[in-house]
Amino acid sequence: MARELTRCIDLARIDARRRRHDSTEPEHLLAVALESQDIAQAVRARGLDPMELRDRLESRLTTRPAVGGYRDGSDSPLSTSLTRVVGRLKQRRWVPFIAKMTILDALLLEPSIAELVFELRRGNDYRYVVERARARAVLSGHDGVGVEHIFSALLDVRSFVDTVRRAEGDADRLRTTVDGVLDTERPKSDLRRAPPIEPVVQRMISARDVTALPSGETLVTIRMLCLQLARQDESERFWTAAGIRGSDFVRAVHLP
Protein backbone atom coordinates (compact mmCIF):
# COMPACT_ATOMS: atom_id res chain seq x y z
CA MET A 1 0.00 0.00 0.00
CA ALA A 2 2.83 2.41 0.87
CA ARG A 3 4.43 1.92 -2.54
CA GLU A 4 1.10 2.40 -4.33
CA LEU A 5 0.39 5.57 -2.32
CA THR A 6 3.83 7.01 -3.12
CA ARG A 7 3.35 6.31 -6.83
CA CYS A 8 -0.12 7.90 -6.83
CA ILE A 9 1.12 10.98 -4.97
CA ASP A 10 3.97 11.37 -7.47
CA LEU A 11 1.52 11.15 -10.37
CA ALA A 12 -0.86 13.60 -8.65
CA ARG A 13 2.01 16.08 -8.28
CA ILE A 14 2.83 15.70 -11.96
CA ASP A 15 -0.82 16.37 -12.82
CA ALA A 16 -0.88 19.48 -10.61
CA ARG A 17 2.34 20.76 -12.17
CA ARG A 18 1.01 20.07 -15.68
CA ARG A 19 -2.08 22.11 -14.88
CA ARG A 20 0.13 24.83 -13.29
CA HIS A 21 -1.73 24.64 -9.99
CA ASP A 22 -0.16 26.06 -6.85
CA SER A 23 -0.63 22.88 -4.78
CA THR A 24 -1.46 19.21 -5.14
CA GLU A 25 -5.02 18.60 -3.93
CA PRO A 26 -7.17 15.55 -3.18
CA GLU A 27 -8.79 16.14 -6.57
CA HIS A 28 -5.47 15.51 -8.32
CA LEU A 29 -5.03 12.27 -6.38
CA LEU A 30 -8.58 11.18 -7.21
CA ALA A 31 -7.99 11.91 -10.90
CA VAL A 32 -4.96 9.62 -10.81
CA ALA A 33 -6.76 6.95 -8.78
CA LEU A 34 -9.71 6.81 -11.18
CA GLU A 35 -7.34 5.68 -13.93
CA SER A 36 -7.11 2.38 -12.05
CA GLN A 37 -9.70 -0.22 -13.04
CA ASP A 38 -9.81 -1.37 -9.41
CA ILE A 39 -10.74 2.11 -8.18
CA ALA A 40 -13.29 2.60 -10.95
CA GLN A 41 -14.86 -0.73 -10.02
CA ALA A 42 -14.89 0.27 -6.34
CA VAL A 43 -16.78 3.42 -7.32
CA ARG A 44 -19.31 1.32 -9.24
CA ALA A 45 -19.64 -0.99 -6.24
CA ARG A 46 -20.87 2.02 -4.27
CA GLY A 47 -23.62 2.51 -6.85
CA LEU A 48 -21.95 5.54 -8.43
CA ASP A 49 -21.08 6.26 -12.04
CA PRO A 50 -17.27 6.63 -12.36
CA MET A 51 -17.61 8.43 -15.70
CA GLU A 52 -19.84 11.11 -14.19
CA LEU A 53 -17.48 11.43 -11.23
CA ARG A 54 -14.53 11.78 -13.60
CA ASP A 55 -16.36 14.41 -15.67
CA ARG A 56 -17.29 16.51 -12.62
CA LEU A 57 -13.77 16.16 -11.26
CA GLU A 58 -12.24 17.29 -14.55
CA SER A 59 -14.60 20.28 -14.62
CA ARG A 60 -13.46 21.31 -11.15
CA LEU A 61 -9.77 20.89 -11.96
CA THR A 62 -10.14 22.77 -15.24
CA THR A 63 -11.69 25.79 -13.54
CA ARG A 64 -9.05 25.90 -10.81
CA PRO A 65 -6.80 28.96 -11.33
CA ALA A 66 -3.46 28.32 -12.99
CA VAL A 67 -0.66 30.28 -11.33
CA GLY A 68 2.04 29.71 -13.91
CA GLY A 69 4.51 28.19 -11.48
CA TYR A 70 6.43 24.91 -11.32
CA ARG A 71 7.65 25.16 -14.90
CA ASP A 72 11.15 24.40 -13.62
CA GLY A 73 10.13 20.83 -12.78
CA SER A 74 9.92 21.32 -9.02
CA ASP A 75 7.17 19.48 -7.17
CA SER A 76 3.83 21.08 -6.43
CA PRO A 77 3.52 20.96 -2.61
CA LEU A 78 0.82 18.87 -0.95
CA SER A 79 -2.12 20.90 0.30
CA THR A 80 -3.33 20.67 3.90
CA SER A 81 -6.33 18.61 2.79
CA LEU A 82 -4.23 16.14 0.80
CA THR A 83 -1.85 15.84 3.76
CA ARG A 84 -4.91 14.83 5.82
CA VAL A 85 -5.76 12.15 3.26
CA VAL A 86 -2.23 10.77 3.40
CA GLY A 87 -2.33 10.85 7.20
CA ARG A 88 -5.48 8.70 7.24
CA LEU A 89 -3.77 6.09 5.11
CA LYS A 90 -0.54 6.09 7.09
CA GLN A 91 -2.25 5.65 10.45
CA ARG A 92 -4.35 2.71 9.28
CA ARG A 93 -1.82 0.16 10.55
CA TRP A 94 -2.05 1.59 14.07
CA VAL A 95 -5.80 2.21 14.32
CA PRO A 96 -7.76 -1.07 14.17
CA PHE A 97 -11.08 0.30 12.94
CA ILE A 98 -9.58 1.78 9.77
CA ALA A 99 -7.23 -1.12 9.06
CA LYS A 100 -8.78 -1.77 5.62
CA MET A 101 -8.89 1.85 4.45
CA THR A 102 -8.05 2.31 0.78
CA ILE A 103 -7.02 5.41 -1.16
CA LEU A 104 -10.64 5.79 -2.25
CA ASP A 105 -11.89 5.47 1.35
CA ALA A 106 -9.46 8.14 2.53
CA LEU A 107 -10.39 10.50 -0.31
CA LEU A 108 -14.14 10.14 0.29
CA LEU A 109 -13.64 11.40 3.85
CA GLU A 110 -12.39 14.74 2.52
CA PRO A 111 -15.23 17.31 2.28
CA SER A 112 -14.17 18.58 -1.15
CA ILE A 113 -14.43 15.05 -2.57
CA ALA A 114 -17.62 14.31 -0.64
CA GLU A 115 -19.10 17.41 -2.27
CA LEU A 116 -18.35 15.96 -5.71
CA VAL A 117 -20.08 12.71 -4.74
CA PHE A 118 -23.12 14.50 -3.35
CA GLU A 119 -23.45 16.39 -6.64
CA LEU A 120 -23.64 13.17 -8.71
CA ARG A 121 -26.97 12.62 -10.44
CA ARG A 122 -26.45 9.18 -11.99
CA GLY A 123 -26.29 5.92 -10.09
CA ASN A 124 -26.93 2.20 -10.34
CA ASP A 125 -29.41 1.49 -7.55
CA TYR A 126 -30.26 2.23 -3.89
CA ARG A 127 -26.53 2.26 -3.08
CA TYR A 128 -26.29 5.52 -5.02
CA VAL A 129 -28.66 7.17 -2.52
CA VAL A 130 -26.84 5.69 0.48
CA GLU A 131 -23.44 6.80 -0.81
CA ARG A 132 -24.66 10.33 -1.44
CA ALA A 133 -26.19 10.32 2.05
CA ARG A 134 -22.80 9.30 3.44
CA ALA A 135 -21.18 12.13 1.49
CA ARG A 136 -23.70 14.53 3.05
CA ALA A 137 -22.64 13.30 6.49
CA VAL A 138 -18.98 13.86 5.62
CA LEU A 139 -19.73 17.35 4.30
CA SER A 140 -21.40 18.21 7.61
CA GLY A 141 -18.77 16.46 9.74
CA HIS A 142 -21.38 14.16 11.26
CA ASP A 143 -20.70 11.00 13.22
CA GLY A 144 -23.25 8.77 11.47
CA VAL A 145 -25.61 8.40 8.52
CA GLY A 146 -29.24 8.73 9.63
CA VAL A 147 -32.63 9.07 7.95
CA GLU A 148 -32.11 12.82 7.60
CA HIS A 149 -29.10 12.19 5.35
CA ILE A 150 -31.18 9.76 3.28
CA PHE A 151 -33.93 12.37 2.93
CA SER A 152 -31.31 14.94 1.89
CA ALA A 153 -30.03 12.65 -0.87
CA LEU A 154 -33.52 11.69 -2.04
CA LEU A 155 -34.65 15.29 -2.33
CA ASP A 156 -32.41 15.57 -5.39
CA VAL A 157 -34.10 12.53 -6.98
CA ARG A 158 -36.95 13.76 -9.16
CA SER A 159 -39.11 10.66 -8.73
CA PHE A 160 -39.00 11.05 -4.93
CA VAL A 161 -40.00 14.72 -5.04
CA ASP A 162 -42.77 13.93 -7.54
CA THR A 163 -44.13 11.25 -5.19
CA VAL A 164 -44.14 13.64 -2.22
CA ARG A 165 -46.14 16.11 -4.30
CA ARG A 166 -48.45 13.38 -5.56
CA ALA A 167 -49.19 12.62 -1.91
CA GLU A 168 -50.07 16.34 -1.58
CA GLY A 169 -46.96 17.01 0.47
CA ASP A 170 -44.78 20.12 0.47
CA ALA A 171 -41.31 19.12 -0.78
CA ASP A 172 -39.89 22.58 -0.03
CA ARG A 173 -40.94 22.41 3.62
CA LEU A 174 -39.52 18.90 3.80
CA ARG A 175 -36.17 20.14 2.48
CA THR A 176 -36.14 23.05 4.94
CA THR A 177 -36.79 20.67 7.84
CA VAL A 178 -34.12 18.22 6.72
CA ASP A 179 -31.55 20.99 6.33
CA GLY A 180 -32.45 22.36 9.76
CA VAL A 181 -31.91 18.98 11.41
CA LEU A 182 -28.60 18.49 9.62
CA ASP A 183 -27.41 21.95 10.61
CA THR A 184 -28.36 21.88 14.28
CA GLU A 185 -29.02 18.43 15.70
CA ARG A 186 -26.24 16.13 14.58
CA PRO A 187 -23.11 15.44 16.70
CA LYS A 188 -19.77 16.06 15.02
CA SER A 189 -16.96 13.66 14.18
CA ASP A 190 -13.26 14.03 13.40
CA LEU A 191 -13.83 11.84 10.30
CA ARG A 192 -10.90 9.51 10.78
CA ARG A 193 -13.26 6.84 9.43
CA ALA A 194 -16.40 6.81 7.31
CA PRO A 195 -19.52 7.82 9.27
CA PRO A 196 -21.19 4.51 10.16
CA ILE A 197 -24.65 3.65 8.88
CA GLU A 198 -27.08 4.03 11.79
CA PRO A 199 -29.36 1.09 12.73
CA VAL A 200 -32.50 2.60 11.22
CA VAL A 201 -30.79 3.06 7.85
CA GLN A 202 -29.19 -0.37 8.12
CA ARG A 203 -32.65 -1.89 8.55
CA MET A 204 -33.81 -0.13 5.42
CA ILE A 205 -30.94 -1.19 3.18
CA SER A 206 -30.95 -4.75 4.50
CA ALA A 207 -34.59 -5.33 3.60
CA ARG A 208 -35.02 -8.10 1.06
CA ASP A 209 -37.19 -6.04 -1.28
CA VAL A 210 -34.41 -3.42 -1.51
CA THR A 211 -31.44 -5.71 -2.07
CA ALA A 212 -32.99 -8.55 -4.10
CA LEU A 213 -33.49 -6.66 -7.35
CA PRO A 214 -30.83 -6.40 -10.08
CA SER A 215 -28.62 -3.35 -9.68
CA GLY A 216 -29.53 -2.13 -13.16
CA GLU A 217 -33.10 -1.36 -12.12
CA THR A 218 -32.25 1.99 -10.60
CA LEU A 219 -35.71 3.47 -10.21
CA VAL A 220 -37.16 0.22 -8.87
CA THR A 221 -34.57 -0.25 -6.15
CA ILE A 222 -34.71 3.42 -5.15
CA ARG A 223 -38.49 3.14 -4.94
CA MET A 224 -38.14 0.14 -2.62
CA LEU A 225 -35.71 2.11 -0.46
CA CYS A 226 -38.25 4.95 -0.31
CA LEU A 227 -40.96 2.54 0.80
CA GLN A 228 -38.71 1.29 3.59
CA LEU A 229 -37.99 4.89 4.58
CA ALA A 230 -41.72 5.63 4.80
CA ARG A 231 -42.21 2.75 7.23
CA GLN A 232 -39.61 3.86 9.78
CA ASP A 233 -40.81 5.60 12.95
CA GLU A 234 -37.77 7.91 12.80
CA SER A 235 -39.04 9.31 9.49
CA GLU A 236 -42.41 10.46 10.80
CA ARG A 237 -41.40 13.97 11.80
CA PHE A 238 -40.12 14.61 8.29
CA TRP A 239 -43.37 13.44 6.70
CA THR A 240 -45.22 15.64 9.19
CA ALA A 241 -43.10 18.60 8.12
CA ALA A 242 -44.17 17.91 4.53
CA GLY A 243 -47.81 17.86 5.65
CA ILE A 244 -48.34 14.15 5.01
CA ARG A 245 -47.95 10.78 6.69
CA GLY A 246 -45.65 7.98 5.68
CA SER A 247 -48.71 5.96 4.64
CA ASP A 248 -49.72 8.79 2.27
CA PHE A 249 -46.33 8.53 0.60
CA VAL A 250 -46.64 4.73 0.32
CA ARG A 251 -50.01 5.06 -1.38
CA ALA A 252 -48.60 7.66 -3.78
CA VAL A 253 -45.73 5.33 -4.69
CA HIS A 254 -48.20 2.65 -5.71
CA LEU A 255 -50.36 4.97 -7.81
CA PRO A 256 -50.18 4.22 -11.55
The 10s digit of each residue's pLDDT in 160-219 is 999 999 999 999 999 999 999 999 877 777 777 888 999 999 999 988 878 766 555 667
Q: Say yes or no to pLDDT of 154 above 60.
A: yes
Contact 166, 252 (CB under 8 A): yes
Instruction: Please tell me the chain's helix, strand, coil percentages from 3-state DSSP, rounded to the nearest 5.
Output: 65, 5, 30
Tens digit of each residue's pLDDT (9 = 90 or more) over 91-146: 755 445 445 689 999 999 999 999 999 999 988 889 999 999 999 999 999 989 99
Residues 32 and 140 in one domain: no
Residues 113 and 209 in one domain: no
If one counts the domains in the chain, the total is: 2
Domain limits for position 94: 1-122
Write the single-letter amino acid at 190. Answer: D
Read off the pLDDT of each residue in 230-252 and give the average, rounded to a whole number: 96
Residues 112 and 144 in one domain: no
Per-residue confidence band for 4, with pLDDT thresholds at 50, 70 and 90:
confident
| Cα(100)–Cα(102) distance, integer angstroms | 6
**Which of 90, 122, 154 represents a domain boundary (last residue)?**
122
**Which of 58, 90, 122 represents a domain boundary (last residue)?**
122
Orientation of helix 199-206 relative to helix 218-230, angle to 10°: 130
Q: Model-level pTM?
A: 0.89
Residues 149 and 252 in one domain: yes
Residues in the chain: 256
Rg, C-alpha atoms of the chain: 20
| Cα(72)–Cα(6) distance, integer angstroms | 22
DSSP-H helix ranges across the chain: 2-18, 26-33, 37-45, 50-63, 80-90, 103-108, 111-118, 126-140, 147-154, 158-166, 171-184, 199-206, 208-211, 218-230, 236-242, 246-254
Tens digit of each residue's pLDDT (9 = 90 or more) over 67-104: 765 555 667 899 999 999 999 888 755 445 445 689 99
Provide the CATH number for the domain around residue 102: 1.10.1780.10
- Report angle CA 130, 133, 135 to the nearest 5 degrees: 115
Residues 34 and 134 in one domain: no
Contact 208, 124 (CB under 8 A): no
Residues 142 and 230 in one domain: yes
| Cα(54)–Cα(61) distance, integer angstroms | 10
Predicted pLDDT at 65: 83
Contact 90, 9 (CB under 8 A): no
